[in-house]
A = this chain, B = another copy of it.
Amino acid sequence: MTDIKSGPNPLFLRTDEIMQAIELLFFAYRDFTGEPDELLAQYGFGRAHHRVIHFVGRHPGMTVSELLSILQITKQSLSRVLSQLVAEGFIKQTPGEIDRRQRLLELTEKGLELDEKLFNVQRQRIVKAYKESGAEAVAGFRSVLINMMEESDRPRFAKKTHPPSPRR
């Protein structure tokens, strides 16, 4: 039968522990994204815009391709939100100097402002959770999440080594 082993699990691999992890992620993520969503709605934006603003803010000068590979969506999906953000003056595109096919992305002043507003909303929730849990717990939180994601994205979170490489 397709039974769930709940037998010889030394410590923390019981069925209900796993179940709890699933719900933990569901509720925490739901609430974590809830506040920014409200703020974004005031601009007529959604979560997709947030992700674009976030990653462009973090990696100014990144190309459209790089953004696509981080977000793992199609260029048609990205196009809608990105062109909206460009049209409304939150993101600026400049042709690459070396490769003039590329459009290097960066936030405008207006984009930086929204980025910061969004950041501050999320910052409060994280600071609260971190403070209430303590430094040791935070290390555990980081470790579990890093081990939960695909390996290809883990280098981004290396302790000393900064994220992959600025631009290209």
Tell whether, in the assembled complex, residue B142 and residue A20 are in contact, meaning their CB atoms are under 8 Å apart.
Answer: yes
Tell whether, in the assembled complex, residue B12 and residue A119 are in contact, meaning their CB atoms are under 8 Å apart.
Answer: no
- Comparing A60-68, A76-84, A90-98, A127-135, the segment that makes contact with chain B is A127-135
A145 in the interface (beta carbon within 8 A)? yes
Cβ-defined partner of A31 (8 Å) among B122, B144, B149: B149
Main secondary structure of the interface of A (DSSP, over half): helix
Tell whether, in the assembled complex, residue A144 and residue B148 are in contact, meaning their CB atoms are under 8 Å apart.
Answer: no
Chain A interfacial residues counted at CB < 8 A: 65
- Output the nearest chain B residue to A137 by Cβ-Cβ distance: B140
Tell whether, in the assembled complex, residue A18 and residue B144 are in contact, meaning their CB atoms are under 8 Å apart.
Answer: no
The CA of A23 and the CA of B113, in the complex, are separated in Å by 19
